[in-house]
Chain A
Amino acid sequence: MEKEVVFTLKSLYRDDMRITGYRFGKGDKAACIVGAIRGNEIQQLYTCSQLIKTLTKLEQRGAISKHSQILVIPCVNPHSMNIGKRFWTMDNTDINRMFPGDANGETTQRIANGVFEEVKGYAYGIQFTSFYMPGDFIPHIRMMETGYHSPSLANLFGLQYVLLRKPKPFDTTTLNYNLQLWDTNAFSLYTNATDQIDEKSAKHAVVAVLRFLTRMGVIKYTSHSGYIASLLNEDDLLSVKTTTGGIYRRLKNPGDGVERGDVLGEIVHPYEGQVLEQVISPTDGIIFFAHTSPLVMENVVAYKIIRRLHE
């Protein structure tokens, strides 16, 4: 393993911001893995750290294939992470809306460019990422339909679900989208946490990446085969929205099977304590996404349910 600083940004008042990469193996650019891009992606950072730990052991055992190079960047934004800020410290811009970046542009464009120059050109790109809404997911692989995507490869992670979605206008500046445009098979891997560490979910994510890399011939690692993924389109997910605001009592979790008419959650009057609204499942299915915050507004997506799928 070679540890190197792939990008440095000087700061007047703080230590330099160093983006560190860990390289395993030598030769062809096989896979790059990127962890936290936003400052609150603690789970993504932790997952990367566990991956780096495992890859280090595998390399010592000679389990990295010849002529295969893996790059892992655990954290793109340590400056924000260290002060508990989600986006860029100074101007609050989102580095994951700045790709492919610009070497002569604004600060976050330069950071994005510095990272992108390192991660482009790999056969496979994996990003541990988080959703822009607060909530928990079933662990899954998410892909955008760019025309370059490959759902059959996504299946090789052995996670239960692969979600396909059509890119929205803002997606064109994300890392995943730009990796795909540069001929990398890019995957976003969602675990079921962001600000907090979920050990079990992080372990699943690490094993999923190792399983994928094994199946692509990049490493040798023996694990169980995982799942044959259910391929979902975003349209298969039914959003269940709140119709009032209040204190939120979540009654179901990602992965739970539900039936039409089941009570999924309750919204409680913030002063008087009575239940203002029951969040009712409009369909049979499996919970894919669940709102986490203890407060909820009106018209918020409390759940996303995979319709008519049973446990």
Chain B
Amino acid sequence: MIETVVSIGLAVDEKMIIKKNRIQPANLKGNEKRICIVTGLHGDELEGQYVCYELTKKINENIQFLNGIVDIYPALNPLGIDSVHRGMPTFDLDMNRIFPGSENGAMPEYVAAKIIEDIDGADMCIDLHSSNIFLREIPQVRVSEHMEEKLVPYAKLLNIDFIWVHPVSTVLESTLTYNLNNKNIPTLLVEMGVGMRITKEYGDQLVKGIFNLMKEIDMWRGEVLAVKEPIISTEKEVEFVNAKYSGIFIPCVGILGVIKKGDSMGEILNPLTGEVEEKIVSPCDGMIFTLREYPVVYEGSLIARVCGGAEWKKR
């Protein structure tokens, strides 16, 4: 059942409509759990589009196993997705920095408030992101430290490769995930893939995980497949590699690659002079879970993140 979450009249003969698809069993008892799958908050992140499609298709094909309400929101920033624009067009505003929004606020804040209002009361939410056009991420869930105990058990069910536990100080209070968790709706922030692209195998991997999670919380009665055991890492076990020079980054490693401290990860080249500006080496033994996708780098641009924590070493 397609429903309107919020509708805003635009200037010239058009409405901006945020829609959701509600899938539910034929006979409701009134006490069903509800899970929300939200994505498309950033218009350049498309990985969630395939996940929404695949999840909807698979549930509808096996609707007899559904034991709860699934709300799927494929496009929280429809104008952004349509115009290949990360933020909200016309306002040039990052929609994931305006939550919880306000009913009486400006248009983007009003939209944010309506999104929260619509999700409110859910038993679980998955907020799907796909990095940006610059970085590729392995399928992972990011959890703030103060929510670790509550969220990590759910995150482990999602068939992802990695769980990154952030310190509270770096968590942005204006994000959708933060605000939903603050309202006591367990919300998992998934990052995977890269902006403007769809990585089908990541999507399939996550869909498998979502069914597994739904089974665990008694929203799915069908069979599910075994899922991966993710590596769990805290902030201090993650090493960041930033460019020291501007140039063109050419990697010699791949994402999910295992690497040793001092191993080459690639080079930053100068196409004008033909010189190597910087040789990038790994700061630790570990696994590459973020890797630069967009070749042009400025001084400071993130090249990679390497997880080298205790749990990694155990493996």
Interfacial residues, chain A to chain B (CB-CB below 8 A):
9-13, 86-87, 90-92, 94, 97, 104-110, 132-133, 168-170, 172, 239, 244-248, 270-271, 295-301
User: Cα distance A169–B247 when bound, in Å?
Assistant: 35
CB-CB under 8 A for A106 and B91, given A91-B132, A270-B11, A296-B11: no
Which B residue's beta carbon lies closest to that of A94? B94
User: Cα distance A91–B174 when bound, in Å?
Assistant: 19
Residues A10 and B299 in contact, CB atoms below 8 Å apart: yes
Residues A106 and B301 in contact, CB atoms below 8 Å apart: yes
Interface: B61 (CB within 8 A): no
Interface: B2 (CB within 8 A): no
Interfacial residues, chain B to chain A (CB-CB below 8 A):
8-14, 16, 86-87, 90-94, 97-99, 104-107, 110, 132, 134, 172-174, 178, 240, 242, 245-248, 270-272, 296, 298-302
Q: List 12 A-B contacts (CB under 8 A).
A: A10-B298, A11-B298, A110-B299, A170-B174, A244-B9, A245-B14, A270-B13, A271-B13, A297-B8, A297-B90, A299-B8, A299-B107
Consensus secondary structure, chain B interface? loop
User: Cα distance A132–B9 when bound, in Å?
Assistant: 20
User: How many Å from the CB of B191 to the closest CB on chain A?
Assistant: 16
Residues B299 and A270 in contact, CB atoms below 8 Å apart: no
Chain B residues with CB below 8 A from A87, complex form: 92
User: Cα distance A296–B10 when bound, in Å?
Assistant: 7
User: Cα distance A18–B87 when bound, in Å?
Assistant: 27
Which of B99, B172, B242 is in CB contact (< 8 Å) with A106?
B242
Supply 7 further A-B pairs (C-beta < 8 A) apart from A11-B246, A170-B172.
Answer: A10-B245, A12-B272, A94-B94, A107-B298, A172-B173, A245-B12, A297-B11
User: How many Å from the CB of A29 to the closest CB on chain B?
Assistant: 27
In the A-B complex, the 5 residue pairs with the closest CB atoms: A298-B9, A169-B173, A295-B11, A169-B174, A107-B300
Which of B8, B97, B246 is in CB contact (< 8 Å) with A97?
B97
CB-CB under 8 A for A297 and B299, given A172-B173, A245-B10, A271-B13: no
Chain B residues with CB below 8 A from A12, complex form: 246-248, 270-272, 296, 298
Which of B97, B106, B271 is in CB contact (< 8 Å) with A133?
B106
Which A residue's beta carbon lies closest to that of B90? A297
Chain B residues with CB below 8 A from A108, complex form: 300
Residues A239 and B104 in contact, CB atoms below 8 Å apart: yes
CB-CB under 8 A for A297 and B10, given A104-B242, A133-B91, A169-B173: yes
User: How many Å from the CB of A150 to the closest CB on chain B?
Assistant: 25
Residues A106 and B296 in contact, CB atoms below 8 Å apart: no
> What's the count of A-B pairs with C-beta under 8 Å?
103
User: Cα distance A16–B271 when bound, in Å?
Assistant: 17
Consensus secondary structure, chain A interface? loop
Residues A92 and B8 in contact, CB atoms below 8 Å apart: no
Residues A107 and B9 in contact, CB atoms below 8 Å apart: no
User: How many Å from the CB of B118 to the closest CB on chain A?
Assistant: 16
Chain A residues with CB below 8 A from B90, complex form: 297
User: Cα distance A271–B10 when bound, in Å?
Assistant: 13
Chain A residues with CB below 8 A from B99, complex form: 169
Chain A residues with CB below 8 A from B242, complex form: 104-106
Chain A residues with CB below 8 A from B13, complex form: 270-271
Residues B106 and A301 in contact, CB atoms below 8 Å apart: yes
CB-CB under 8 A for A132 and B11, given A107-B299, A170-B98: no
Chain A residues with CB below 8 A from B8, complex form: 245, 297-299
User: Cα distance A247–B103 when bound, in Å?
Assistant: 24
CB-CB under 8 A for A295 and B298, given A97-B97, A104-B242, A301-B106: no
Residues B296 and A90 in contact, CB atoms below 8 Å apart: yes
Chain A residues with CB below 8 A from B245, complex form: 10
User: Cα distance A271–B12 when bound, in Å?
Assistant: 8
Chain A residues with CB below 8 A from B300, complex form: 9, 105-110
User: How many Å from the CB of B140 to the closest CB on chain A?
Assistant: 19
Most chain B beta carbons < 10 A, residue from A13, A246, A296, A299 = A299
User: How many Å from the CB of A276 to the closest CB on chain B?
Assistant: 10
Residues B298 and A247 in contact, CB atoms below 8 Å apart: no
Residues A9 and B299 in contact, CB atoms below 8 Å apart: yes
Which A residue's beta carbon lies closest to that of B272? A12
Most chain B beta carbons < 10 A, residue from A92, A97, A296 = A92
User: Cα distance A133–B93 when bound, in Å?
Assistant: 9
Chain A residues with CB below 8 A from B246, complex form: 10-12
Which A residue's beta carbon lies closest to that of B269? A12
User: How many Å from the CB of A181 to the closest CB on chain B?
Assistant: 13
Residues A91 and B134 in contact, CB atoms below 8 Å apart: yes
Most chain B beta carbons < 10 A, residue from A10, A247, A295, A298 = A298
